[in-house]
Structure formats: structure tokens, C-alpha cells
Amino acid sequence: MKIAFVVASTDHGTLIINRNDENENEKYGRYGVGSQLFATGSFYPTDTDLLTSILRIRKRAFADRRPVVAVDCGANIGIHSLEFARELGAAGRVLAIEAQRAIFYAMCGNIAINNCFNVEARNIAVGSVDGFLRVPFVNYHVRSSFGSLELRDREGKEDIGQVVDYSSGYDVPLLKLDSLCKERVDLVKIDVEGMEGEVIAGGIDLLKDSKPVLFVERIKGDFSPIELTLRSLGYEIVDLGPNILAVSNADPTKSDVMSAVANHIT
């Protein structure tokens, strides 16, 4: 039997990683979560540093009154979730969401092996309605960027490194953020390969009530409707290249968060 998932020592701790998690094209060069981890030992450390610094700000402001909560939509093998969990410790919790079953299994192993038991892992997808979503089968023994898999078939979707058959697959629960999150939330990371708009649409009540800081990938699809929605809800948007950070104007920690963002940019 070919070996796909292996264990490696990284800057994020001991991790279960797919050694085939790599793709290459003219636009991005060589990329993939596994590829970057094997090449550098870390995965976008400046982003994780920014987000953990924001959680640190939220802890100082709220941890004496309530748990600080982070939601990781599209958690992959759990790198951001682990870093969030370490930062929060006993002061808070992390909800880690991953739709791909095999990658979810690796994430659960990473949570356990790093003793981050303030993480709740869910094998689900997040969208604009509650129901079910079919996840296409992927061959994890074939060199591909598995985190780039788009759960919905569309024209112009990214070639992850293998042909994906959307006519077959397995169903996972599809839930709105409003259905998932019944407590106050401080930070939501959204990296869901083109479904970011659906996630925002299914979390309007959460955004109005909790006003969490949002870190959203925007490299797939039209981001304009998302920007219009966030601005209508009173969010200020900061351009971070392939991602945006959105901070509510009503957030009492906004000035500290924006200072952290300024330090990140410089």
C-alpha cells in the first residue's frame, strides 16, 4: 500500500501531513499546505501571528467575563486551529471545520497529538443554508493541492492536480454559521475555496450580534458582494492581498486590532 499521510516535526508542532499535498502552475508556482510545511517547516506564519495577536487582544478584553471563541472554516489539517488553541488555552475554545473526510481525520490526529483539547472538530461544510453537501471523492495518493479542492463544481474551477469527478462523492452536513454558533464569537477565519460568500450569508445574525473579526480568503469568485455585505453591517475592510481582514466599527477592541494589522503590514 502506498503511504500518503506521514508524521513530521514542524514549527506548529508534530503534524500528520499528506506527503502528496502539492501542486504547481504558472500562476502560483509550487504550492500546497504539505508542500509549504515540508519546504519551510511552517504555513503562512505571518498570518497565524496576526490572528493569534488578535485573539490575545480579545483575551485581554473579555476573558474575565466569558470564553473567547475562534471559528476556523476550512481548517484543513488544523494549523490555524492549533495555533488558536495554544493562544487561548483555558481562556477560550476553537471550532475547527473541515469538509474533506480524510483531511478531517488528519486534523483530529493533530489536535490529539498536540493536546489541544479546547478544539471542537466538525466534519461538516459551512454555507448559506442548512442541509447536506456532496464532497467529491479525491485520490489522496496523487500529487495534488488538496486544500484547493472546490466543493461545488463550476466553470473555471482550479485544477488541483488531478481530475475531480463531481458526479460521485459522499454527503456531509451543511450548516450555517448562525446554526453552529450560539455563543459569542471573537474571530472567524473563512478559507473555503469559493464558498466564502455563502458562509457570510449564513452568518448574518452572528455578525450582527457578536461582531467578530473576520479573516477571509478572496482569491476565488467575485468578492464584491461580500464586501458590500460586510460594509452594510458596519465593517471596515483591510486589504491583505489574497485575504481581507474585516473589523466591526462597533468592536470595542477595534483600535488595538487595527494597530496589530498595521504592524503586520509593515
Summarize pLDDT for 201-210 with one digit per residue, the tens. Answer: 999 999 999 9
Average pLDDT, the chain: 97
Flag whether pLDDT at 266 surpasses 80.
Answer: no
CATH architecture of 43-142+172-265: 3-Layer(aba) Sandwich (3.40)
What is the residue extent of each domain of the chain? 43-142+172-265
Find residue 175's DSSP bridge partners.
126
Query: In terms of pTM, does the model score above 0.75?
Result: yes
Long-range contacts, 35-42 (Cβ 8 Å, 24+): 35/145, 37/8, 37/10, 37/12, 38/8, 41/10, 41/11, 42/10, 42/11, 42/12
pLDDT digits (tens, 9 = 90+) for 21-46: 999 988 778 999 999 999 999 999 99
Q: What is the pLDDT of residue 81?
A: 98
pLDDT score for 145: 98
pLDDT at 1 over 80: no
